[in-house]
Amino acid sequence: MNDRIKTNLKEDILWLKCSNCKEFIFKRIFEENLKVCPICGFHYRIGAYERIEMTFDDGIRGFKSLFEDIVSKDILGFTTSEPYSLTLEKNREKSGVKEAVIVGTGKVKGYEIAAIIFDFNFMGGSMGFGVGERIIRIFNYASQKKLPVFAFIASGGARMQEGMVSLYQMPRTIIAVEKFKEETRLPYVSIFLNPTTGGVLASFAYLADYIAAEPNALIGFAGPRVIEKTIGRKLPERFQRSEFLLEKGLIDKIVRRNEIRDFVSWWCRS
């Protein structure tokens, strides 16, 4: 299903058509509703800064982005039709973020938190060195400053352009999580967004104390196409979606976007 809202009107449109329920919705109401369809409740994909804007007190102004200078580089000399370094540049321009994850601190309902916020628009939220290192740093920082950690995951998994260096971000981030758990008595909470898959799910993301997901997010180790190819048949409709995972006991809760601030602040209360 396409997560981007379809529009058949011009730039200054007032109305949008929901790609899920096909109903026309007022653009202003859609924005006010945190990019969730007010009719069918479909959660549209949003960028890291949109997430920050709607989650933190004072939005983006209230958020301090940290370790911005840490970014991935072309370690392997990975060149196809273009060098990987150019792919990175293009993604920075396209998404407005320098890496597939933003880490930093800010307040939610008055509580100071450390946050990990993926941006799926940047190379599918894939985890290479830059992403892994930022995650490690924020866990260490949260441990020093005694802040709870909230991770908003949206990722296709490990970033293949950095080869095994990307896969090694799995143990690296897990070491950081464990260190945080050892050094603090504070919660680490993951919120799985659409989609959360592969090496990100199978490492630090799943080792949170508590795991929530937005409605209808695709969550799984293997992608649906890979599974279909292996088993040679179509997958059931709701397979690997948040509601399915909740039913199977693989996550704790489904949290709608408009409940997230309440949810986060609940975990911050002592």
Q: What is the largest CA-CA distance in the chain?
A: 54
160, 119 in Cβ contact below 8 A?
no
Q: Cβ(154)–Cβ(116) under 8 Å?
A: no
Is there binding between residue 153 and other proteins (CB under 8 A)? no
CA atoms of 73 and 53, how far apart (whole Å): 28
Q: Return the residues of window 207-236 that contact other proteins according to CB under 8 A.
A: 207, 220-222, 226-227, 230-231, 235
CB-neighbour burial class of residue 192 (10 A; exposed 0-12, middle 13-18, buried 19+): buried
Whole-Å CA distances, 187 to 39, 115, 132, 141, 148: 34, 12, 20, 14, 5
Least separation in angstroms between CB 242 and other proteins: 13
Shortest approach of other proteins to residue 232 CB, angstroms? 11
Of the residues 116, 167, 217, 268, which one makes contact with other proteins according to CB under 8 A: 167
What does the block give as tokens for 170? Answer: 């799995």
Residue 160, interface with other proteins (CB under 8 A)? yes
Per-position x/- string for 90-129, each x denoting binding to other proteins as judged by CB under 8 A, each - no binding: ---------------------------------------x
Smallest separation (angstroms) from other proteins to the CB of 166? 5
What residues make contact with other proteins under the rule CB under 8 A? 73-80, 129, 133, 136, 158-160, 162-168, 170-172, 174-175, 178, 198-199, 201-207, 220-222, 226-227, 230-231, 235, 239-240, 248, 250
